[in-house]
């Protein structure tokens, strides 16, 4: 479904993603891990069209989307749940969900099915996003992405800044979604959660792939070594 070849992205003159190549099959779940500043968020944003590629290609279902704007990629089936959630604070839960419907693809996700997937949002449907808790905002952000009926879901730091109970609630719903056959790339600081959900793990270090492999073949220790670049220093 997704083929990334030699992707590079920069912030000004500073390289953030350096020659990353990977492929993702339909229905596969990939955990993208690494320390702060490793390039994870920039990589997801570049896949989604929210950040320009400096070099390399992104192909989605055989189509070169490297130069397509974000809304065109949404229409093809790529949806990003951004770090920090980025909701419209003065709009209600339902209004935030409906915003995503402008470029939605045909599919099963509607306001009602999103509220079924995240039942904690149903009694809050008319509440402004600014008044929601962090976990409720994250559920709304994931629901907003689902409203586009994506084929590929990009999730950036789902548990960041959330209380433990909120993390549990969000991940209960997220695990059900992923078990239903979704194709996803998950950026997550919690290695344990990431490795429980993902079929494969890719670890970035200073914008490059330091380690990649099936989750079943990787130990937490190997991932941690790559995460901090310990093998490179030894």
What is the residue-level pLDDT of the chain in tens, covering all 234 positions?
Answer: 999 999 999 999 999 999 999 999 999 999 999 999 999 999 999 999 999 999 999 999 999 999 999 999 999 999 999 887 789 999 999 999 999 877 678 888 999 999 998 889 999 999 999 999 988 999 999 999 999 999 999 999 887 777 788 888 778 877 777 777 789 999 988 888 888 889 999 999 999 999 999 999 999 999 999 988 875 443
Give me the domain span that covers residue 150.
2-233
Residue 225 is classified by DSSP as H
CATH value at residue 69: 3.40.50.300
Give the C-alpha separation, 141 to 146, whole Å: 9
- In sequence order, what are the residues at sequence separation of 6 or more whose Cβ sits closer than 8 angstroms to the Cβ of residue 10? 16, 54
Tally the domains of the chain.
1
CA distance 45 to 53: 10
CB-CB contact of 147 with 109 (8 Å) = yes
């Amino acid at each position: 479904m997704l083929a990334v070849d030699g992707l590079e992205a920069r912030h000004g003159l500073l390289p953030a993603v350096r020659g990353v190549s990977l492929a993702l099959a339909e229905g596969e779940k990939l955990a993208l891990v690494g320390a702060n500043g490793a390039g994870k968020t920039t990589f997801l944003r570049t896949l989604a069209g929210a950040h320009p590629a400096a070099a390399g290609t992104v192909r989605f279902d055989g189509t070169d989307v490297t130069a397509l704007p974000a809304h065109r990629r949404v229409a093809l089936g790529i949806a990003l749940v951004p770090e920090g959630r980025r909701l419209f604070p003065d709009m209600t839960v339902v209004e935030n969900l409906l915003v995503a419907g402008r470029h939605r693809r045909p599919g099963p996700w509607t306001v009602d099915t999103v509220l079924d997937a995240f039942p904690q949002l149903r009694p809050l449907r008319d509440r402004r996003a600014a008044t929601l808790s962090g976990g409720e905002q994250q559920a709304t952000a994931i629901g907003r992405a689902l409203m586009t009926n994506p084929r590929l879901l990009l999730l950036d730091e789902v548990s960041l800044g959330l209380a433990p109970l909120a993390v549990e609630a969000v991940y209960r719903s997220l695990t059900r979604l992923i078990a239903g056959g979704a194709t996803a790339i998950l950026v997550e600081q919690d290695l344990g959660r990431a490795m429980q959900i993902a079929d494969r793990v890719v670890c970035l270090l200073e914008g490059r792939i330091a380690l990649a492999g099936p989750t079943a073949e990787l130990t937490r220790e190997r991932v941690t070594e790559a995460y901090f670049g310990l093998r490179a220093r030894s």
